[in-house]
């Protein structure tokens, strides 16, 4: 098993603890790599390196165009290595190779997009209302960014932070999830190969409380960019408040996928399946509540069951597999707990509802794709994020009812609407409290389109031109051009 190292100040180093932990392949349930167990001392070194790099002539003195070119060079390297990176991700977190391959082939676009944006961030000349003064603004990088990422799409979610942060001129200390750190090391090698100056990107691995905690509390971290669960997000937000740090939080959801009786039913059935069973339901945007117009409810359920039953479970590295294992043992247990809770609360289990013990699932942590009908919006299964292949089906009577149920959640990350009516599509997309609304599609994301949550789903936006401003701060510069000193005792 390969024993990995931390990337601090451009060097691959052992953790100060001289301790490693095993990364486990969720399909075989066997360890396959050794990940450094960093501690506060390593956090301090990494932040010091990032701070020094932030002020270094090599980085601070680099033109925005040259910085952009570095990002584009990195994009090309990722594109060349996409297959290898995808295989590492799939082995480490159990998501389908087909899905990870898609993500890895797409990730270079983020670096190209933000590389292109790097030298297009301009200040403004303000036609100021005071004679004899020239006023303009500059957009400046916030400083050292702590990027904390989860296990479900490790490189993709890191990219959403790293690409705009680097384009803005920030430096990074990145802590990937303890469950899916291995691809980060491969990414680190490519940052080096692209020629980023030492200390611009630092990678430290370990546990949330031992590494993430000291990192978010470090006084020299200016900004925290976090994706993960809402409880951890709360903790991160409190740390940001203590240190008055910039923060973006992407915290998951309980997204409603709403099907009206005028929808093209076969398309909507596929959309609901993709919303909840793709990626084994382990996505922040999972459409975990299917709201179905009452006149078509029963017919829709039958069609959905027919399609969902065909989902092929098995080795995520095999091309034919459609549903892989759950990534972590605790997550597997959490999903099964929620299934038990749903049954106890009286939801009707129409599909799955158990660990999957088919031979093709081997020793992996598999849960059968599970569908509950008779779900009452008050049930826990309809309110809490399961993060697994578990769908709650809820009937509704009309648009008003659909809006009421869909918005009756603490979350607000995404929503789907299936209808042929333009009026309905526009009305629903306006009234749904969610950062993303898909109409007649689901699970589409792009580097070009802003992404983020309403309510407890998060703060700030990733992707799109908006995201780079999350890593910039505005300075207002005033220059006297009149040359006559005004009365010093009066505000100018």
Residues annotated catalytic, as ranges: 250, 284
Residue 207 CB neighbours (<10 A):
15
Q: Which of 228, 364, 389, 435 binds ligand NDP (CB under 6 A)?
A: 228
Cβ-based neighbours of 102, under 8 Å, separated by 6 or more: none
Shortest Å, Cβ 206 to ligand NDP: 7
Count the site residues for ligand NDP by CB under 6 A: 29
How far the first Cα of the chain sits from its last, in Å, is 67
**H or E stretch covering 104:** helix 97-117
Q: Which is nearer to ligand NDP, 236 or 304 (CB)?
A: 236
Q: Which is nearer to ligand NDP, 235 or 297 (CB)?
A: 235
Task: Mark the segment that binds ligand NDP (CB under 6 A) among 47-55, 112-120, 172-180, 303-311.
Answer: 172-180
Residue 431 CB neighbours (<10 A):
16
Question: How far apart are alpha carbons 405 and 460 in whole angstroms?
Answer: 25
Q: Which of 82, 190, 216, 437 binds ligand NDP (CB under 6 A)?
A: 216
Task: Mark the segment that binds ligand NDP (CB under 6 A) among 45-53, 230-238, 368-376, 443-451.
Answer: 230-238
Residue 196 CB neighbours (<10 A):
25
- Candidates 313, 388, 305; CA nearest to 349 is 305
341 and 381 in contact (C-beta within 8 Å)? yes
Question: Helices 82-93 & 182-194, crossing angle to 10 degrees?
Answer: 160
Is 399 one of the binding residues for ligand NDP (CB under 6 A)? no
Q: Which is nearer to ligand NDP, 221 or 317 (CB)?
A: 221
Give me the torsion for CA of 203, 208, 214, 218, rounded to 10°.
60
Task: Mark the segment that binds ligand NDP (CB under 6 A) among 101-109, 212-220, 428-436, 443-451.
Answer: 212-220
Shortest Å, Cβ 317 to ligand NDP: 22
Shortest Å, Cβ 472 to ligand NDP: 24
Is 89 one of the binding residues for ligand NDP (CB under 6 A)? no
Q: Which of 284, 304, 356, 375 binds ligand NDP (CB under 6 A)?
A: 284
Question: What residues from 252 to 271 belong to the interface with ligand NDP (CB under 6 A)?
Answer: 252
Task: Mark the segment that binds ligand NDP (CB under 6 A) among 59-67, 250-258, 288-296, 419-427.
Answer: 250-258
Shortest Å, Cβ 241 to ligand NDP: 14
Is 412 one of the binding residues for ligand NDP (CB under 6 A)? no
Shortest Å, Cβ 385 to ligand NDP: 4
Is 213 one of the binding residues for ligand NDP (CB under 6 A)? yes
417 and 285 in contact (C-beta within 8 Å)? no
Is 208 one of the binding residues for ligand NDP (CB under 6 A)? yes
Is 331 one of the binding residues for ligand NDP (CB under 6 A)? yes
Question: How far apart are alpha carbons 162 and 318 in whole angstroms?
Answer: 30
Q: Which of 82, 98, 121, 148 binds ligand NDP (CB under 6 A)?
A: 148
Task: Mark the segment that binds ligand NDP (CB under 6 A) among 7-15, 33-41, 210-218, 345-353.
Answer: 210-218
Pairing of strands 289-293, 144-148: unpaired
Pairing of strands 30-36, 20-25: antiparallel
322 and 312 in contact (C-beta within 8 Å)? yes
68's tokens: 């952009």
Is 365 one of the binding residues for ligand NDP (CB under 6 A)? no
Q: Which is nearer to ligand NDP, 213 or 355 (CB)?
A: 213
374 and 348 in contact (C-beta within 8 Å)? yes
Question: How far apart are alpha carbons 91 and 85 in whole angstroms?
Answer: 10
* E strands, 82-143, in order: 125-126, 133-141
Q: Which residues bind ligand NDP (CB under 6 A)?
A: 148-152, 175, 177-179, 207-209, 212-213, 216, 227-229, 232, 235-236, 250-252, 284, 331, 334, 385, 387
């Amino acid at each position: 098993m390969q024993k990995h190292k931390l990337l601090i100040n451009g060097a691959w180093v052992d953790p100060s603890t001289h301790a490693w932990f095993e990364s486990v392949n969720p399909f075989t349930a066997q360890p396959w790599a050794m990940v450094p167990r960093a501690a506060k001392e390593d956090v301090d070194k990494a932040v010091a390196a990032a701070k020094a790099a932030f002020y270094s002539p090599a980085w601070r003195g680099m033109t925005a165009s040259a910085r952009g070119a570095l990002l584009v060079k990195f994009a090309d390297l990722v594109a060349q290595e996409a297959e290898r990176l995808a295989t590492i991700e799939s082995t480490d977190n159990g998501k389908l190779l087909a899905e990870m391959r898609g993500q890895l082939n797409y990730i270079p676009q983020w670096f190209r997009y933000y590389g292109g944006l790097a030298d297009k961030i301009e200040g403004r000349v303000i036609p100021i209302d005071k004679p004899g003064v020239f006023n303009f603004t500059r957009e400046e990088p916030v400083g050292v960014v702590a990027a904390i990422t989860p296990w479900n799409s490790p490189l993709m979610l890191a990219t959403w932070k790293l690409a705009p942060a680097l384009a803005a001129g920030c430096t990074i200390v990145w802590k990937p999830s303890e469950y899916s750190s291995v691809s980060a090391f491969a990414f680190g090698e490519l940052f080096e190969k692209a020629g980023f100056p030492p200390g611009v990107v630092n990678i430290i691995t370990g546990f949330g409380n031992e590494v993430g905690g000291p990192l978010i509390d470090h006084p020299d971290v200016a900004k925290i960019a976090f994706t993960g669960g809402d409880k951890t997000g709360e903790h991160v937000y409190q740390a940001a408040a203590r240190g008055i740090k910039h923060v973006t939080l992407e915290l998951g959801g309980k997204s409603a996928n709403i099907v009206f009786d005028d929808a093209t039913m076969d398309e909507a059935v596929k959309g609901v399946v993709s919303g909840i069973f793709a990626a084994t339901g382990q996505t922040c945007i999972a459409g975990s509540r299917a709201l179905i117009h009452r006149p078509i409810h029963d017919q829709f359920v039958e069609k959905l069951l027919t399609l969902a039953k065909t989902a092929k479970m098995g080795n995520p590295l095999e091309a034919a597999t459609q549903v892989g294992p759950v990534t972590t043992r605790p997550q597997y247990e959490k999903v099964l707990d929620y299934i038990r809770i749903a049954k106890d609360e009286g939801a009707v289990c129409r599909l799955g509802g158990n660990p999957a013990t088919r031979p093709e699932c081997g020793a992996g942590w598999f849960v059968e794709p599970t569908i509950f009908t008779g779900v009452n919006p008050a049930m826990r299964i309809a309110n809490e994020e399961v993060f697994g292949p578990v769908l709650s089906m809820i009937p509704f009577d009309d648009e008003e009812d659909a809006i009421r149920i869909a918005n009756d959640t603490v979350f607000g990350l995404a929503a789907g609407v299936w209808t042929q009516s333009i009026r309905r599509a526009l009305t629903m997309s306006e009234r749904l409290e969610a950062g993303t609304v898909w109409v007649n599609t689901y699970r589409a994301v792009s580097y070009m389109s802003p992404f983020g949550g309403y309510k407890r789903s998060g703060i700030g936006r990733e992707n799109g031109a908006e995201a780079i401003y999350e890593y910039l701060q505005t300075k207002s510069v005033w220059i006297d051009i009149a040359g006559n000193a005004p009365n010093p005792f009066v505000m100018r």
